[in-house]
Structure formats: structure tokens, C-alpha cells
Amino acid sequence: MGDNGGGPTGPRCIAIVGPFQSGKTTLLEAILARTGAIGRQGTVDQGTTVGDASKEARDHRMSVEISVATTTFMGDAYTFIDCPGSVEFVHDMRAALPAVDAAIVVCEADEKKVPQLQLILRELEELNVPHLLFLNKIDKADTRLSDALRMLQPASRVPLLLRQIPTWNGEAVNGFVDLALERAFVYRENQPSEMVPLEGNVLDAEKQARFSMLETLADHDDALMEQLLEDITPPRDRVFDDLRKEMRDRQVCPMLMGVASRTNGILRLLKALRHEAPGPAQTAERLGVKAGAEAVAYVMKTYHTSHGGKLSIARVLAGQIGDSTVLQSPDDEVGRVAGVFKMLGQTQEKRGPAQAGETVALAKLDGAETGDTLSTGKTAHKALVAVKPSPPVLNIAVAARERKDDVKLGQALSKLLDEDPSITVIQNQETHEVVLWGQGEMHLRVATERLADRFGVAIERHRPSVGYRETIRKTVTQRGRHKKQSGGHGQFGDVVLEISPLPRSSGFQFSERITGGVVPRNYIPSVEEGVRDALKEGPLGFPVVDIAVALIDGSYHTVDSSDMAFRTAGRIGIVEALPQCQPVLLEPIHEVEIVCPTDATAKINAILSGRRGQILGFDTREGWPGWDAVRAQMPESEIGDLIVEVRSATAGVGTFTFKFDHMAELTGKTADQIVAARKAAA
């Protein structure tokens, strides 16, 4: 299957990744056009691309989930996974990457996007995925390649290795020189480049750039280093062997260039992948999968289609998977395959069994989840990787617009979580709110659009309630008396309660100091129940905490007293006492850690101060040169849309984590406004 020059055999799976709006979807379109999978190259602006075909992607003109497309090149099958570039949708990329053979990192010569590039390269580096850079939009670059290389290098932990240099016609790039082949080419729009003589100033530039490339390769090849020191020209095959080995071993990151919108540089990119990227055997070895009769596959993505049901995009790493194959995960059986499909964007084509290396859609595996390792052996194959979403940073509360759709909303949310594990759904029992947590403003917007468009549930959304509480500052003794006579047995309960404040975070304590049986012991639990009922909402409108209540006296009636009467008396005593106890509002305070590029740290400090944050300090981010980690304490109410400002101040790359720390008293105008809003909503 196309060995050619010692390259790997078998169907290849290649991820296309890169910063937001670097041209990834356009590159996929160019590859599909160049390989004949589509007749004409579409554009993102016109909404005619194979990738980004969902309504949400079309509406926002951005990738919001992976797009999968299989094609052939020089006799080999290739499946390309076009991944979103926005940090808000990074989990889709993260879940797909472990099982790919290599990644094309699409980037631009744009200094503002270097932090985004660093985030993506770090994901690839930590997963040990071989990768190369494709410097896109080279026709619009306003900087020389040597300057672009210096600009981009800090984003990568390994050396960026120039594989090509551009040729110029005046101020415009008109072609390139392949430093490994030592050949020059001129771009032709939407056609293969044309080879031209390598001569003059271009030849001089090629010799210098090629020597620099060989020097970098020689850092990991002593024999090549000796040849360079002795001024011996290394054989071309030796150069290609080194390029292949050092890319696969992640010792270098080759850098190619082109213009995806014109298909310039696409053929050379595909040939580099064919000859130098690892194949399925090497990927299976990297993941610890042994070849054999047992089928092993990794689930990259889950979709719920309107007609075909659930689809699991899976890379087969060993064995064969076809119709009716029964698969299991390490946790449980996931189901019987109801069909195997080749993917081209949102188009599925039924096909035969999938062999090792192929990337396909498996139908109706109801128990399979994104990130699962599936297998057919008697014993389930161990999980290949554990892919965890980033902690969520923004939330909204959602509700079905019509009550009759409540059950339908629950089912839709289940499917939404299946498709996107980076969303978290929390049912707040206290406020009766369904709260969606996500990775940012656009992430949650797309999630709610999917609920309406894909799953057919009209919803309303609002900001979730903040977990305010109230407590007291003063001790009060209060009688609670419930007496009611209405013919026959009446109701009688009489208690005296001592209500006093407790230290912060103590919660609620109930005790009794009854003497002489003035309140029979069997009624004391009912008094406590009544007290607890009353503390669910204090005079300010919020649950009351950090309070001690002691039952110290009371009286009863042998006929009219009952559990219900004493429960009511306990509630009355608390309701009448709390306004006298100097109630005060408590707001939750969280400890927040924001990570950001160092040049944005001052902006982050200003944002924190403007949101009533108390800055605790900052330090360099461990393992991340050029980044800081800022720690602060801030109210939960101020964290609400904090991520919007953080992303704005950090070119989209800053993020934060937070955890509850303590409750703090809140007084003054802000507290008055919160209490007034609560009463108005009641």
C-alpha cells in the first residue's frame, strides 16, 4: 500500500490543528480537492466546505466540533480530523488526538497567535503525537521567514525545522524551494506547482537554509555531523531517513508553507505526510496495542444524528470491526455494531468491515463514550488514555420554555453531554435550577443552540443564582407558641428557644436543655424539624447558617399537643426571633488561580481588583516559560463572567480554576441591592 522510500503502510489518520482562524477548515477543503474527494473547493465564507457543515458552525463561521473526512492519495487511504481552534472547543481536539498518526499544525506568521500556538503544541507534546507545522497564508505574510521562525520557536519545546523557503517575485511570494529535494517550484493557483530551475540568488539562499536544516538534523545523528564537518554532501536518502526518524521521535518539528485557499503547497504537504509521518503500526505501538485477532479501537467523537441515531467515530488500531461486531469497554459491554460508515464531513457512506488503521463511524453503540477503548477479546482491553476536560469556567441556567418539555430537555441534555464531555450539568436542588457549565461564552451559546436545533427543545436561559446565605450577630431568646381550637382536639405547642451565632462555617447546631419534662421528649425532634424549616429562608430571603438553637423551656397539653403542633411552634419561634438577631448577608468567596502570558499579568491584576478580588500573589507558571499564575480570592458573584474579560485580556488563551474557600459578611449598598432583588423575585 504505497511503501515508497521506506514510508509506513496502511490507512493513515491525520489531525489538522492550530490557532483560531488560521485556516484549518480551508486546508482540509484544499486537501480534499487536491486528492479528488470533492470536485470543487468550497469556502468558509460561503458555507460550502465539507468541514464546519453543522448549522452552528455555519452560523458562527467557526469550527465548533471536529470534522472527519476520508480520502486517498497515491493509493493510500487518509482520514483527516479537522479540529476546532478556539480554546473553548479544545476538548474535541484533545479527545481525538491520542489515536492519530500525526498532526498538521496550521499557523500564521502572527505574533498575537503565538500563545494559542503554544497551547496546541503543548497538547501534542504531552500526548507524544508527531507533528509538523504548515505556515499558511504565506502570500499575506509581511515578515521574512527567518523572522517568522524566531517568532514561532518559543511556542515549541523542540526545534522548528525549515523544510522549505519561499521564493519571491518582488514583494510577493511566488513559490518555494524544497530543501530536502533541492528543487524549486512556482505556485499555480488551484493546480500543482511547477518545477523551475534552481539558480542565482535562490540557489545561494537554498544552500544556506539547507545547511542549517542539516545541522539541526545532525544534532541527533553523529554520522551526519561528521559528514558536515568534513564538507561531504550527505546522500539524499540519508536526509529523508533522518527527517522521518526525527519527526517520528518528536526531536524536530518540520515546517512547510503554502496558501490553503489556493491549494498552494498542498501536494508537497501530502508527500511529506506520506513519506515521513508514522503509520498505524507505529501509532498502535505508541499506545500499547499489540497486533492480533482481537479488535481494538479508540472512540474519538460521539454524534447523535437525527435519523441514524448514535455514531461513534473510532480509529481501529488492531483487528477488524464490521456489522454485528460486539464491542466492550473496560467498564462494560457497549453494544453490537449496527453499521460501519466512511465519513466525508456530515455525509456517511455505508462500507464493509474496517481494518486496522482505518477511521470510521460505528453505528448505534449506545454504551460507547468519547475516549473509550473498545475491544472484542474475552477480556476487555485496558483504557489506552484518560482524556479529561478542562475545568469549566462559565455557567448558565436553562429551563424548557414549556413545562411539557421538561422530560425532553433531560433527554436532550444527556445527548449533549454524550457529544461534548466538556459540558457539565448540575441540578441545583435548592434553587431548582438546571445549570450548564462550559468552557466559555461561545461554547455555552453553541450548546444551547444545539438543544434547540439538533434536539428540538426550546429553552430559556438566565444567570444562575449565587449561593448567598445569611447569619446572625446577636443572641436572642424567643418563645414560639402555636395554639388552635376548632372543635374536638385542638393544637397546642409551646417552646422557648435560645438562638445564638456560631463561628463561620459551623453550619447549624440544635440542642435541648429541658428540665422537668415541660416539653415531652417525643416532641423534641419535631421542634428541631420546625426550626430547620424556618432556617431555609431567613428575613433577608436566604438560607440561614452558622447558628445554634437551644430548646430551653416550653409547655404542652396532654390532649391537644402533637408532633405537628410542636413543629409549628419551633418554626414560629425562629421566624419571630431572626429579625431581632441582627441578620447579615453572607456571600461565598472562592480562591481563584488565573494562568496567563506574562505580558498580560498587569491587566489580570486590574481585572481582579475591579471585581472585588483580593490578590494573594503570583508566580511563574511551572513548566510554562513566559506565563504567570495569579492567585486571588474573590466573590462568587464576580466570577460569573470573569472568563470573558480574562480571554479578552490574553488574546483568548488565559483561563482559571476556582474552588470555594469561605463565606464572608457583605454589608452596605451591594448587600441592600441583593436583598431587594431577592424580595422582588419572590
Please write the tens of the pLDDT for every residue from 612-642: 999 999 999 998 989 999 999 999 999 999 9
Asked if residue 389 belongs to a domain, the reply is: no
Residue 611 in contact with residue 632, Cβ under 8 Å?
Answer: no
Tell me the residue length of the chain: 682
Provide the pLDDT for residue 169.
Answer: 83
If we measure between CA atoms, which residue out of 657, 655, 658, 656 comes closest to residue 87?
655
In this structure, the answer to whether residues 415 and 520 fall within a common structural domain is no
Residue 461 in contact with residue 398, Cβ under 8 Å?
Answer: yes
Look at residue 1 and tell me whether its pLDDT is greater than 50. no
Asked if residue 507 belongs to a domain, the reply is: yes
In this structure, the answer to whether residues 430 and 487 fall within a common structural domain is no
Look at residue 488 and tell me whether its pLDDT is greater than 70. no
Q: How many domains is the chain built from?
A: 5
Measured in whole angstroms, the distance separating CA 371 from the mean position of its chain's CA atoms is 13
Look up the CATH number of the domain holding residue 621: 3.30.70.240
Please write the tens of the pLDDT for every residue from 505-522: 999 999 999 988 999 999
In this structure, the answer to whether residues 336 and 292 fall within a common structural domain is yes
- Domain end call among 581, 603, 628: 581
In this structure, the answer to whether residues 28 and 151 fall within a common structural domain is yes
Confidence grade of residue 191 (pLDDT, cut at 50, 70, 90): confident
Residue 43 in contact with residue 25, Cβ under 8 Å?
Answer: no
Asked whether the whole model's pTM tops 0.95, one would answer no
Provide the pLDDT for residue 474.
Answer: 97
Provide the pLDDT for residue 681.
Answer: 82
- Domain end call among 440, 462, 484: 462
Look up the CATH number of the domain holding residue 199: 3.40.50.300
Confidence grade of residue 4 (pLDDT, cut at 50, 70, 90): very low
- Domain end call among 559, 581, 603: 581
In this structure, the answer to whether residues 664 and 548 fall within a common structural domain is no
Per DSSP (E only), the strands in 131-217 are 131-135, 160-162, 164-169, 172-178, 183-188, 191-196
Provide the pLDDT for residue 146.
Answer: 84
Confidence grade of residue 8 (pLDDT, cut at 50, 70, 90): low
In this structure, the answer to whether residues 457 and 473 fall within a common structural domain is no
Asked if residue 594 belongs to a domain, the reply is: yes
In this structure, the answer to whether residues 429 and 478 fall within a common structural domain is no
Please write the tens of the pLDDT for every residue from 265-285: 999 999 999 999 999 999 999
Cα–Cα distance, 279 to 269 (Å, whole number): 16
Look at residue 234 and tell me whether its pLDDT is greater than 80. yes
Please write the tens of the pLDDT for every residue from 539-551: 999 999 999 999 9
In this structure, the answer to whether residues 492 and 591 fall within a common structural domain is no
In this structure, the answer to whether residues 269 and 291 fall within a common structural domain is no
Look at residue 3 and tell me whether its pLDDT is greater than 60. no
Asked if residue 380 belongs to a domain, the reply is: no
Higher pLDDT residue, 53 or 655?
655
Provide the pLDDT for residue 370.
Answer: 96
For Cα atoms 370, 376, 379, give the angle at the middle one, nearest 5 degrees. 100
In this structure, the answer to whether residues 574 and 612 fall within a common structural domain is no
Asked if residue 383 belongs to a domain, the reply is: no
If we measure between CA atoms, which residue out of 542, 473, 477, 476 comes closest to residue 501?
473
Percent of all residues in the chain with a pLDDT value above 70, rounded to a whole number:
98
Please write the tens of the pLDDT for every residue from 160-183: 999 999 998 877 888 999 999 999
In this structure, the answer to whether residues 532 and 674 fall within a common structural domain is no
CB contact set of 39 (below 8 Å; sequence gap of 6+): 33
Domain that holds residue 358: 284-375
Mean pLDDT of the chain: 93
In this structure, the answer to whether residues 46 and 153 fall within a common structural domain is yes
Provide the pLDDT for residue 660.
Answer: 95
Provide the angle, in degrees to the nearest 10, between the axes of the packed helices 266-276 and 24-34. 80
Provide the pLDDT for residue 129.
Answer: 97
Look up the CATH number of the domain holding residue 297: 2.40.30.10
